[in-house]
Amino acid sequence: MANPTITDQDLAKRSLKSIRKISKLHKNNKSSIELAVKEDGTTFQLPVSALDSIETILKNLSEGKNSEIVSENKYLTTQQAADYLDVSRPFIVRLMEAGKLPYKKVGRHRRVLFSELKNYEEKQQQVALGKLKKLTEESQLLNLY
């Protein structure tokens, strides 16, 4: 797959703003939205739940990155998991062996469910946010902030 062109990136940036606006307006109110293609008048309905995925794709495109949609129940190799989290493959293996990242063995190879990888990522983000909050509170108490 070719990298997005500058034109694609610019269009994705503009589209991302629109999708975020649509998402804010309709996310909690509706289960679907109706979209129309200006050129030929074609209309179609889109599940509101799809907006998050579309937003992620547009964000990646605007940054010059390609996107791939992965099913939550897909098994990834240790290298694919490492690429997703932007860490080394040995780090992923250590997480698995320490019991911090559930996996299954296929022959000699380890595989991790994408949903488990996302759960791990979300937990790590929560830990990081908690530590950042604590650090901010401490710096305020010391009048450093």
What phi, psi does 42 have (nearest 5°)?
Answer: -60, 135
Q: Assign 52 a pLDDT band (cuts: 50, 70, 90).
A: confident
Spatial separation of the C-alpha atoms in residues 22 and 120, rounded to whole Å: 29
72-105 per-position pLDDT tens digit = 889 999 999 999 899 999 999 999 999 999 999 9
Q: pTM for the full model?
A: 0.61
> Nearest 5°: phi and psi at 44?
-155, 160
Does the pLDDT of residue 7 top 70, yes or no? yes
- On the question of pLDDT at 1 being above 70, the answer is no
The label of the residue with tokens 């975020």 reads 20
Domains of the chain with bracketed CATH: 6-62 (no CATH), 75-140 (1.10.1660)
> Region 12-31: what's the mean pLDDT?
87
- Distance between CA atoms of 121 and 116, rounded to whole angstroms? 9
From the list 16, 19, 86, 73, the residue with the least C-alpha distance to 48 is 19
Is-contact 85 105, C-beta < 8 A? no
